[in-house]
Amino acid sequence: MEKLNTPFVPNFLLGVAGGLQYLSFKKAAKNPRKYQEKTLRGILDFAKDTEYGREHHFADILQAKDDRELYQLYQENVQPNDYEDLRPYVERHKNGECNVLFPDKPALYATTSGTTKEPKWIPITQRYLKDVYGKMNLAWLFTMIRNRRKVFAGKLVSIVGKVIEGYAPDGTICGSISGFAQRDCPQWMKDLSPYPFTVYEIEDYTARYYTIMRFGIEHNTTLIITANPSTIVEMQNNVNEYFDQYVEDIEKGTLNEKMDIPSRIRESFQPFLKPNPERAAELRALKAQYGTVLPKHYWPDFQLLTTWKCGNTKVYLDKFKDSFPTQTFHQEFSYYATECRFGLVVDDTSNTVLAPHMHYFEFVPEEDIDKPDEEKRFVQAHELTTGKRYVTYVTTYAGLYRYNMNDLIEVGPRYWGTPSIFLVQKVNGIVTMTGEKLHERQFIDAVRTAEEELQMPLKFFIGFADLEISAYRFYYEFADMETPQAKADTFTKRVDALLKEYNQEYKTKRDSLRVKDPVTHRLQRNSFETFKAQCIAEGKRDGQFKLNLLLQDEGRHEKFKKLVIE
């Protein structure tokens, strides 16, 4: 295996550029109230002459004398939004209009799943890319050096989306913001990759994982960047299945011809393919010694792994516990969504310290979630209470105003004067195990469509996320109680196919094997009535009884498990 080089260039460059951004972050963290006012004023001034800005009186709001008046005027003039409220404005941008939500047009769009069949097209402005996303990335990379000085001494394996996934009607790129950032990253960072970025264009996920790990294992890799810990599980599953083929490819300088990789992409790997019999011999010896070969065996110098560690991810973390070398630092990826990167993780916890100089944040206490917008209490970042839970709203330089993230967070310790937060779960009918963000409405629509297409009417249905198996369990009470299991399985296959059509993130997670095939269960007659009676007997008030049809709730799930037809 290659010896580690002293990472002088990366450490120096990031020490300067990233260090400066980290100091800016630290300065803002000392006075979040001041910087939140400054940030909101900056965003409103940026967009005051746009159509949305004029409609919502941004110029008048900016006349506020202090932060309290500023926030009050902002709340009075701009209602809380979800994506569907903003979609008409985004559609106008997509069709070529300028100065609708923000000045000019987006630099690109990033897509993510929405609450309907149509995905969200999140606009990304040039201002956001340069002054927010770019600067936060520098500070983030700097935190890696702070945690492990040799993190950039070896190769870097990262998992990002495709740079170009499509185009808006006016020709603007639609793609992954992570892929876009990696495409435009400094040359020294590109040089750390053991493969060309065309690897992310491989559609077949088995082939993509194969290619990433075939090249990654050949080298002395010291860093993995991927938000989703389930990806680590799938990468190691690929290693377990194809290790011998990796070794043969490495020995001969080839890339398995059986893998579904288009010839154009295969050609891009040629400069990276050279026979390496010495490394192949090392890998064969590892298998002979250990049987199952893990990262701590093939990457003994590995330094840092960054993934999500909060929310529902623990079940995946447990699957690769003790798989990496003892010196590995597992860094929380941070609370990060397509719409907004909330801040930075500055220690070894799962807490993200808010970046008050980058976005404007509002929070609604958990107990107010179900209240009408006009009755909700909105609090500022500096007013958060440690240990309490809130739903997050963001205002950004990319056209999101008082935007409901539908995320339930819990407040952790303060960093200087700024609260840290960590994600608990999605709310309002959204379930996610590994980033698929499946909405209850999408599940209901898929089931109703399958009923009609297959002529298999239901009396009741419900779905549960099962983290242990990384799959959804769908429960049906068919009108025809004689419906056999095989026919019920066919029904689920159609529901699954429809969900892939309705939800891009669900399709991606299913195709990449991070979400497994859904499991079908047939329910006994009057299952809902039986369930409700049990709940009321346990003290639930009849008048307050509510039941979502897509859940992650082990208590309720256990009750339905007992109502299954054996």
The per-residue pLDDT for range 236-285, each reduced to its tens digit, is 999 999 999 999 999 999 999 999 999 999 999 999 999 999 999 999 99
pLDDT for res 535: 81
pLDDT for res 111: 84
56 SS3 class: coil
Tell me how far apart the alpha carbons of residues 407 and 342 are, in angstroms, rounded to a whole number. Answer: 12
Please list the residues that pair with 331 across neighbouring strands.
306
Tell me how far apart the alpha carbons of residues 485 and 495 are, in angstroms, rounded to a whole number. Answer: 15
Decide: residue 545, CB within 10 A, 0-12 exposed, 13-18 middle, 19+ buried.
Answer: exposed
User: If you average pLDDT over residues 183-189, what whole number do you get?
Assistant: 83
- Contact predicate 368/376, CB 8 Å: yes
Indicate left, alpha or beta for 311 from its phi (over 0: left) and psi (-120 to 50: alpha). Answer: left
Question: Is the pLDDT at 544 greater than 50, yes or no?
Answer: no
Which tokens hold the place of 114? 């929405």
Q: In percent, how much of the chain has pLDDT > 70?
A: 97
Tell me how far apart the alpha carbons of residues 390 and 364 are, in angstroms, rounded to a whole number. Answer: 5
Question: Is the pLDDT at 127 greater than 60, yes or no?
Answer: yes
Half-sphere exposure of 140 (CA within 13 A, CB side): 23
Most confident of 96-100, 311-315, 528-532: 96-100
How does 68-89 read in b/e, with b if 16+ C-beta sit within 10 Å?
Answer: eebbebbeeebebbbbeebbeb
Decide: residue 448, CB within 10 A, 0-12 exposed, 13-18 middle, 19+ buried.
Answer: middle
Question: Is the pLDDT at 157 greater than 90, yes or no?
Answer: yes
- CA neighbor of 144 nearest in space, from 12, 331, 327: 331
Question: Is the pLDDT at 113 greater than 90, yes or no?
Answer: no
Strands in 360-365's sheet, in edge-to-edge order, are 343-344, 352-354, 418-426, 403-415, 389-395, 360-365
Of the two residues 5 and 153, the one the predictor is more confident about is: 153
Tell me how far apart the alpha carbons of residues 199 and 191 are, in angstroms, rounded to a whole number. Answer: 15
CA end-to-end distance (rounded Å), the chain: 54
Decide: residue 126, CB within 10 A, 0-12 exposed, 13-18 middle, 19+ buried.
Answer: middle
pLDDT for res 542: 43
User: What backbone torsions phi and psi does residue 170 show, to the nearest 5 degrees?
Assistant: -90, 5
What rounded mean pLDDT belongs to the chain?
92
pLDDT for res 507: 94
Question: Is the pLDDT at 114 greater than 80, yes or no?
Answer: no
User: What backbone torsions phi and psi does residue 362 show, to the nearest 5 degrees?
Assistant: -135, 155
User: If you average pLDDT over residues 118-125, what whole number do you get?
Assistant: 91
- Contact predicate 396/339, CB 8 Å: yes
- Contact predicate 293/287, CB 8 Å: yes
The per-residue pLDDT for range 387-427, each reduced to its tens digit, is 999 999 999 999 999 999 999 999 999 999 999 999 887 78
Provide the pairing of β-strand 352-354 with 418-426.
Answer: antiparallel
- Contact predicate 345/143, CB 8 Å: yes
The per-residue pLDDT for range 486-524, each reduced to its tens digit, is 999 999 999 999 999 999 899 999 999 999 999 999 999
Domains and CATH numbers, the chain: 31-124+335-426 (no CATH), 148-170+180-332 (no CATH), 430-561 (3.30.300)
pLDDT for res 532: 80
Q: Tell me the DSSP string of 15-49.
A: HHHHHHHHHHHHHHHT-HHHHHHHHHHHHHHHHTT
pLDDT for res 541: 47
Tell me how far apart the alpha carbons of residues 53 and 48 are, in angstroms, rounded to a whole number. Answer: 4
pLDDT for res 543: 41
Q: In percent, how much of the chain has pLDDT > 90?
A: 75
Indicate the range of 259-268, 443-452, 527-536 predicted with least confidence: 527-536
Rg (CA), the chain: 25
- Please report which confidence band the pLDDT of residue 539 belongs to, taking 50, 70 and 90 as the band edges: low
- Please report which confidence band the pLDDT of residue 545 belongs to, taking 50, 70 and 90 as the band edges: low
Strands in 471-478's sheet, in edge-to-edge order, are 519-522, 471-478, 458-466, 550-551
User: What backbone torsions phi and psi does residue 53 show, to the nearest 5 degrees?
Assistant: -65, -40
Indicate the range of 54-58, 386-390, 552-556 predicted with least confidence: 552-556
- Please report which confidence band the pLDDT of residue 230 belongs to, taking 50, 70 and 90 as the band edges: confident
Under 8 Å CB-to-CB from 382, ≥6 apart: which residues? 32, 33, 36, 417, 418, 419
The per-residue pLDDT for range 296-334, each reduced to its tens digit, is 999 999 999 999 998 667 767 888 989 999 999 999 999
User: If you average pLDDT over residues 109-115, what whole number do you get?
Assistant: 78
- Contact predicate 518/471, CB 8 Å: yes
